[in-house]
Amino acid sequence: MFDQLPKFVFFTGKGGVGKTSLACATAVDLADAGLRVLLVSTDPASNVGQVFATDIGNHITPIGQVSGLEALEIDPEAAAEDYRERIIGPIRGTLSEKALNSIKEQLSGACTTEIAAFDEFTALLTDPELIECYDHIVFDTAPTGHTIRLLKLPGAWSGFLETGGDASCLGPLAGLEKQRERYAAAVNSLSNADMTRMILVARPRSSSLAEAARTHRELADIGIRNQQLAINGLMPDEALDDALAVSMIHRERGAMDAMDADLASLVRHDFYLRPENLVGIDALRRMSQPINGLQAGAKHQAMADLPFLSRLIDGLEEAGKGLIMTMGKGGVGKTTIAAAVAVELAARGHEVLLTTTDPAAHLHETLAGDVANLSVSRIDPAVETQRYRDQIMASRGASLDAQGRALLEEDLRSPCTEEIAVFQAFSRTIREASRKFVVMDTAPTGHTLLLLDATGAYHRDIMRHAGETRARMVTPMMRLQDPAQTRVLIVTLPETIPVLEAARLQEDLQRAEIQPYAWVVNSSLVATATQHPLLAARAATEVPEIMRVQTELSARYAVVPMLADDPVGADRLRALIGSVQA
């Protein structure tokens, strides 16, 4: 599939572009060639196990049907537990219970979870024994924003330790000092073109290619320049007089022609849309093969009586205000659905704030103009982190001398400061929903669950120290758990893996006592009238997934059809609300 791959191969890109499929197919291809391969997922919401129908988890696991292939899913929670034990284990029994509890408290935050997963990641880049075991280590990464942060962390932590920063939120600083050489080695491996190749995966869509161009520049800025481009899911040129196929081909070719010049200069690999879900070894092996039997795709009938998004919005509108959150796997269309809901509520005369916690989301591009009654904001990690640092320096730093202020500034340069800052911004936004509609487009599943973990940790800490005021406390988590204040829309695609991940997300939310309001099945071909053989074949695979949503997963759901044009601008967004595409 790819030629002359180095030791480390990263697949990265916007959510839903097919990183996992390409990473898994590449790993199988290399192993079939007789090479020893480790496939690693750094996505907190990994799907590698589902693709191979194998329980993998946070330990190296052989893939039984492929000789020479092993896989690992970095589990942030398991990694955090191991990290805590590495720090606490050696000192257990030597400190008082009070001192030990204080360290445990320091290690209970979301930033500890992130640094623990990051430690596992850097070990894969630097452990000589592990590296010697494999010819290739293939990384299936989290969606772009999360991955860029992960790839920046080796340099960020190296710099932080060089300045003698106080990593109190991660436990004793000695726990990080030991990693200094490893972080420096990780930086060298990532920037070494003979050791590392970054494959930017994109769909042939303007938004996806723009995201790939931004990623290309950001990676180059941190020294990762050995990059190639993979365009995934291209429509074959045979439109066969099908209106939807004609529109899709025209849209894709136009997006490719308008691609950023720097991105277009990269070595490029094209992969065409497949008539099947890429689940299982056989399907992965077919991914690099030509599409056979294009003319054999069965015609289909559009499913009757599919519930439209308008029905859900009627129900959401009844409260007159509140928080509406779109959640789901990257690339399922959370931003589009959030924007469509916000635009429709604004058109009905309500005051609406549309916001996002996704570092890779671009709401203004989706709206493509101002909308009456609608304001737009973004929880930008860089902006929020600077605001938090300024706030702490103005409050805690006001009474300190020059040396004390310098030490505080060093502490605030810790990369985990961002986690605290983003959580505070998230909490402020939630409070606004007490007087108007706030529609929040969240980051992809794994990143969102980490944010909810931080919210839950804050809630438990507040309740523990509330004393007599406990009965009057209203924490952000309590607002999220109250169905009168918060409605969660789980967004998915009518495909096997996205539905499985959405079901897993729903279970995670329910364990946190957050009951989703409804599901939205987006970009459905079965909700269109296409008779193109390839598209019809894909439509047939959607039926069991939609039926599963309807019968097993949600009492409320809506199906949004695949549109011929990108849903950009208020008019096209409102078109998603109502009718089946002809």
Domains and CATH numbers, the chain: 8-75+134-161+174-292 (3.40.50.300), 309-380+429-575 (3.40.50.300)
Tens of pLDDT, residue by residue over 141-184, are 865 445 555 555 545 544 544 554 444 444 444 445 556 666 67
Exposure pattern of 390-418 as b/e (b: 16+ CB <10 Å)? Answer: eebeeeebeeeeeeeeeebeebbbbbbbb
The model's confidence at residue 582, banded by pLDDT at 50, 70 and 90, is very low
Query: What letter would DSSP give residue 552?
Result: I
CB 484, CB 318: distance < 8 Å: no
Is 463's pLDDT higher than 90?
no
Q: Which pLDDT tens digit goes with each residue over 72-119? A: 988 767 777 777 777 777 777 777 777 777 666 666 655 566 667 667
Which has the minimum average pLDDT: 140-149, 238-247, 484-493? 140-149
- Supply the pLDDT for residue 573: 87
Higher pLDDT, 43 or 579: 43
DSSP string covering 261-297: HHHHTS-EEEEEPPSS---SHHHHHHTTS----GGGP
Is the pLDDT at 347 greater than 90? The verdict is yes
Distance CA 252, CA 121 (A): 35
The answer, yes or no, to whether residue 440 has pLDDT greater than 70, is yes
CA–CA separation, 548 vs 542, rounded Å?
10
If one counts every other C-beta atom within 10 angstroms of the C-beta of residue 439, the result is: 31
- What's the pLDDT score for residue 363? 78
This prediction has a pTM of 0.75
The one-letter code for the residue type at 352 is V
Interior angle at CA 326, CA 494 and CA 492, nearest 5: 10
- What DSSP designation does 7 have? S
Lowest mean pLDDT among 124-128, 307-311, 334-338, 352-356: 124-128
Provide the 10 A C-beta neighbour count for residue 476: 23
- 371-378: average pLDDT: 90
Instruction: Outline where 326-442 has alpha helix (H).
Output: 334-347, 363-367, 381-395, 402-412, 417-432
Mean pLDDT of 509-535: 90
